[in-house]
Structure 1
């Protein structure tokens, strides 16, 4: 669907093909920091005081790992997003409400359940609204769909939380319905709301229209009747530069703020970095500029730089931007087509949840011959009445030792499992059409997360769409609405070879807010050490919250790296505080809010619940 004032991208947009897959690595569990002493980093504490810890009622026991997602704090209340339980993959999602009026004694008040098969992620937010249609506090949250249950919804939902002890739903599952052609709105990964004068708006990240129409803007002046008013994306921003490893581009997170008389959007756009939009007229967003990742990287010297712009905030004085890049795979993949007319080197990545290439003989992913396996999904995508999984050519009869699938329709992990069931221990997944932005990012690749539990015995890599065609001696094509341009099932392709090199976990970037020039790049020391590549949990940064009063302080949720406090200035980034609990942590969200004139740090631990801290440094 084209929004008001947004031209249709050319050539024509392909039908979305990312339905039901896990796009974001953070969706899967990374819980090996909990358990034995050798499964997490040692406990540490500096200039950070633990004020209180509250386990959510549904986040206890081994089967609840990864249950908690983001945290939002408004007034005397905190709201924790809750994803589905591992034991019941498609529910229940929703959010917890916690009274934090006494930060040293928080109290869980309630759980608000979403429709079955729907669950929140990040960017959950509460704002105070005053319009002709509504006066009070609203909570906005995204909806991602975990199943095809009839009651599952996508889009965004809005709740009246003026009285947090009596939460009232106002709008459920509102978003992009593709001009009304589908009964359920597209999945959204994040949402941010703001009031501009007499009107209220929300921006969302559309999971299903990656790089083509993935910025959805809704008017929510009447929160009970949200209206989609605009869609845009990098397809509308020809000046946006993408120079990072993988060339994967999609809106991940956003904040909107009034700065020097203008409403400005700060979009975390993965390998395009951080994008600035003018939102004075939200129905007609205007691209202003985007950041550039220094090449080579400052910390480990890799080229091209990693990218992965995940989330960002302005400092209190709007002088700096602190941005996080999320990287769950601490290795870089070198991939070759080893024979045939298109032999050569192409971009690729390794899935961080399959059998590591570093453990294979010769530390090499080696395939003498590849075979095209279609979608690899349980679904029947070609409509011939047979599951695509059942049509995957068996290794014993194919003449190949490596199977190749096309991204889309189902989880990446479903495809890997299909390969295993057909006898393969090496799997390649080719980038989809929609994620190439109609060929603009023909070499872009993305290795997503594990979407379901199964016994993993295969190694797997992801490659770009162009390389997927060339592997089979085929002419690359990017705009058809399906996989019809790919080789026929059972077609044999060239041999392949891949190796990996440690390139670190996700890091933190400090930008000049006016120029978007990168001032500094920071990581915890373990995130740059190959000795911590596995066995210590995910050592990537996730989110940042800047201090509500001090312009030099920011707080980081660092997954298994705990809560980190940094000081920022024109000279760069300096770590000023840290906290990791005795049994390890797995922090997803972080917020910094004042209660009774004191600033508290609120962290959401994915395996337990709410942790409240105070920074005690100078």
Structure 2
């Protein structure tokens, strides 16, 4: 997004006049280049999304290495034994997914030395983990990565991939393994379930992996925490499958949206016992004891604060995404990923079921607040699953022969009303559904929650406004609602089982609705007291822009994504904050404060972060307790690898 110098300076003056300590103070447009250099590089992170201007405080940029020319081509980053591993994500589909291998033995001069290719129609994303294993069957370094499908309609293998990277320049694939796919599957057509993330851990003479099972997060039997014995990598065995239904104490209270699923995990050995911190979205953090991995024991779970300490809303947004213990294990820090900075006030305005229902707004579609009157409203038509190739914006995972609703021209609407198509969640990307509605001529899209995500009707009003699966010309707003609301909008008795998108006839005209957006900020960081089993939240942190309505759109995603802590006896956290850049925080019992930051000229879009020196902590060993500030790896989605060092 190129801007003239006049426009840029006007922006800077306008946004700093409030006195807030934003990261774009005029005297901090530097990082080695001046404003004119900034203008020349201001589209570094894609023509369709903006970003914050550059900033740098107490963070040294040691080096960077370009690994992709694709927007959002890079995902997570891991590290082991002088090598960084960065996942090649969905835009590399259908044949380019895999893992970039980078020698960072000299952090000032990183060198790409290899690539671990994923199978066709698969890509790794959130999960990348390397660990040393010493068992009767294997001695060496194992790399684990997750696999998700480029297209749910194309056969694939999926599960997790297991590589021998004892010699990182000559990796050997040992296996690909997962939970056997039921018929039909929700997210894939393959041998194993789609896996969102994976992490390994070791016990004496044994090795294990924890898989985040996409299929069972949203479909029966809802056992989405899969623990796998990989002591013999050639013959993995699933030894435990558990989920929310096994932890009654974690089922309430829930955060805004009542959406629960296993998203990520961290392992740590604490005072001789093994624990998993399970990030379970609106249920918060769930703490499990895995001294016996075949029988994980519930220890406690965190509850979100009311009111929300950052926004003041009675019900916190939630979205617990990832967590990490402090080096002394006294604190746990967790990230709440929120792609939508607006909370949606939704109501059915006609018919027997008129009233308010829960809903959300997608963060990657035009905001409702920008619509005439700051709202959308009007008649609705049911469109099935919406995995339709209806025009130039079609997603990569459309389904041939998919039933299509009538074109928008066939739907009556009064003055000031939006013709709206309602799709059911499932089978294809959220963005594929919204793009289909746009190509069919509709003014807005509503996506109702899937059967599976209601957990057999436990979460009747839970809704999920998920991430964008592909880039297209986004022109119309879209919201998500609970499954019950989707049914009653068409005066149809709610059902919570069966194939997605088939329980209401395609083309059915429903009642009218109204939806308004109210700003509630982007996702932020929580500080937990890890000395207590219920992990109470004792502090929060957000970048200033993420709480300012002026930054609700046009500056990219200002949500937190991941955090890692300093491996020394230092209460420092290193954060990948998407388009808000790289952040460093200090924490203690009094809360969290920012002490460092970096956004490059042209912007950043950081996914993963990993401090060198911490690679063995997750396997029960001790990291360094003193010494210099560690080098910190960060993965930029649109560029590749950055290496930082905190200098404060």
Same fold (TM over 0.5): yes
1:187 corresponds to: 194
Contact preservation (8 Å) 1:447, 1:461 = yes
Shift of 1:203: 0.5
Contact preservation (8 Å) 2:403, 2:506 = no
Distance 1:99 1:482, change over 3 A: closer
Alignment partner of 1:226 is 2:244: no
Which among 123, 146, 149 is matched to residue 145 of structure 1? 149
Distance 1:357 1:52, change over 3 A: same
1:375 corresponds to: 385
For the aligned residue pairs, the C-alpha RMSD in angstroms reads 2.3
| Separation in 2, partners of 1:492, 1:234 | 36
Alignment partner of 1:422 is 2:435: no
Shift of 1:206: 1.1
Shift of 1:149: 7.8
1:513 corresponds to: 530
Shift of 1:223: 1.4
2:263 corresponds to: 252
Contact preservation (8 Å) 1:319, 1:513 = yes
Alignment partner of 1:208 is 2:215: yes
Report the secondary structure of 1:39's partner residue. coil
1:120 corresponds to: 124
Distance 1:33 1:499, change over 3 A: farther
| Separation in 2, partners of 1:40, 1:426 | 26
Contact preservation (8 Å) 1:51, 1:104 = yes
Alignment partner of 1:70 is 2:76: yes
Alignment partner of 1:265 is 2:282: no
| Separation in 2, partners of 1:592, 1:186 | 31
Shift of 1:514: 2.5
Contact preservation (8 Å) 2:143, 2:165 = yes
Shift of 1:224: 2.2
Contact preservation (8 Å) 1:83, 1:91 = no
Report the secondary structure of 1:468's partner residue. helix
Deviation by residue 1:4-41 (Cα, 9 ceiling, x = unmatched): xxxxxxxxxxxxxxxxxxxxxxxxxxx97736999322
1:467 corresponds to: 485
TM-score normalised by structure 1 residue count: 0.88
Which among 303, 308, 332 is matched to residue 314 of structure 2? 303
2:498 corresponds to: 480
Contact preservation (8 Å) 1:375, 1:388 = no
| Separation in 1, partners of 2:367, 2:561 | 23
Shift of 1:89: 3.7
Higher mean C-alpha displacement, 139-148 vs 386-395: 386-395
Report the secondary structure of 1:282's partner residue. coil
Which among 316, 322, 327 is matched to residue 327 of structure 2? 316
| Separation in 2, partners of 1:287, 1:49 | 42
Shift of 1:428: 1.0
Shift of 1:252: 0.7
Shift of 1:455: 3.2
Report the secondary structure of 2:642's partner residue. strand
Which among 524, 535, 538 is matched to residue 543 of structure 2? 524
Report the secondary structure of 1:396's partner residue. helix
| Separation in 1, partners of 2:144, 2:150 | 19
Contact preservation (8 Å) 2:447, 2:481 = yes
Contact preservation (8 Å) 1:389, 1:418 = no
Which among 571, 585, 592 is matched to residue 590 of structure 2? 571
Contact preservation (8 Å) 1:33, 1:536 = no
Shift of 1:443: 0.4
Shift of 1:183: 4.7
TM-score normalised by structure 2 residue count: 0.84
| Separation in 1, partners of 2:257, 2:214 | 18
Distance 1:243 1:106, change over 3 A: same
Alignment partner of 1:177 is 2:180: yes
1:10 corresponds to: none
Distance 1:463 1:36, change over 3 A: closer
| Separation in 1, partners of 2:380, 2:271 | 57
Structure 2 unpaired stretches of 5+: 1-41, 390-398, 414-418, 615-623
| Separation in 2, partners of 1:161, 1:388 | 43
Report the secondary structure of 2:338's partner residue. coil
Moved over 4 A (4+): 35-38, 148-151, 179-183, 386-390, 481-484, 595-598
Distance 1:417 1:102, change over 3 A: closer
Distance 1:323 1:361, change over 3 A: same
Contact preservation (8 Å) 1:32, 1:536 = no
